[in-house]
Amino acid sequence: MIFDAHMLARYFVLGTQDVRDEAKFFEVLTAALQSGITLFQYREKGPGALIGTDKLRVAQKVRALTHQYHVPLVIDDDITLAHAVQADGVHFGQGDGAPEKNIQQAGALFVGVSVSTPQEYARIADLSGIDHIGIGPVYLTHSKADAKPAIGTAGLQAIAEMSRWPSVAIGGITLENLAAVLNTDVAGAAVISMISQSDDIAQTLQFWQTLSTKKEP
């Protein structure tokens, strides 16, 4: 699949460790797919995360489900798994191995790279083979135990302005601060808990879609 910046508009990230069990994982993912997410990242990381054959089994079910709803699938920091399930893209942080090697191994997959500071952006600015960057954490987040300091919307805007690739905001994004995030030069936002902990996923995505529509030229 060819990367399109519009995919970044409503980007949902989830792993089984983010919810109480596998059944809840698929319940939340299905509701999100039905309600208008534009990209899904399968991310198993941290305490309780699946590994090995269990991770592969869930990833295969995720691939089938995302195909059913015509939503592109990204795998976090596991290029081998991404190829195994025929995902559309892969995402990795700058601490997840050498970017040049990761890009080469990604092959035809589209590639996203995390950026937290202008210095981190400078390290990858001259590389080819990157399709977009994830900028953050914008706000304090509890979804990642190793999260870097929050950069705020000012930091987000500064990196988005210098980026030669489309960018997506990540980290601590909620319904309350979503409008401020989308008011910067990003193509969209990536969230975990805003959807996974929502009492009404359809309503959350409807609100998000309204803000996304206002942002479009």
Q: What's the pLDDT tens digit per position in 75-119?
A: 999 999 999 999 999 999 988 888 899 999 999 999 999 999 999
Q: Specify whether 114 is catalytic.
A: yes
**Domain extent at residue 114:** 5-215
Residue 144 labeled ligand binder: yes
Mean predicted confidence (pLDDT) in 151-169: 97
Give the CATH number of the domain where residue 154 resides. Answer: 3.20.20.70
Q: Which of 114, 116, 196, 198 is catalytic?
A: 114
How many other β-carbons are positioned within 10 Å of the β-carbon of residue 52?
Answer: 7
> Pick from 160, 114, 165, 170: which is nearest to 138 by CA?
170
Calculate mean pLDDT across residues 33-41: 98
∠ CA 132-137-141, nearest 5°, is: 135
Is 119 annotated to bind ligand? no
pLDDT band at 143 (very low <50, low <70, confident <90, very high): low
Is beta strand 89-92 parallel, antiparallel or unpaired with respect to 39-42? Answer: unpaired
Give the pLDDT band (50/70/90) at residue 215: low
Helix (H, G, I), strand (E, B) or coil at 42: strand
Catalytic residue among 10, 35, 43, 212: 43
Model confidence, pTM: 0.95
Establish whether 51 is an annotated binding residue.
no
Half-sphere exposure of 13 (CA within 13 A, CB side): 24
- Our answer to whether residue 144 is catalytic in this structure is yes
User: What is the tens place of the pLDDT at every residue in 120-138?
Assistant: 999 999 999 999 999 999 9
Annotated binding residue 4: no
Tell me: pLDDT of 180 over 90: yes
61 tagged catalytic: no
* Mean predicted lDDT score pLDDT of the chain: 94
Q: Give how many domains the chain has, as a whole number.
A: 1
In eight-state DSSP terms, residue 141 is -
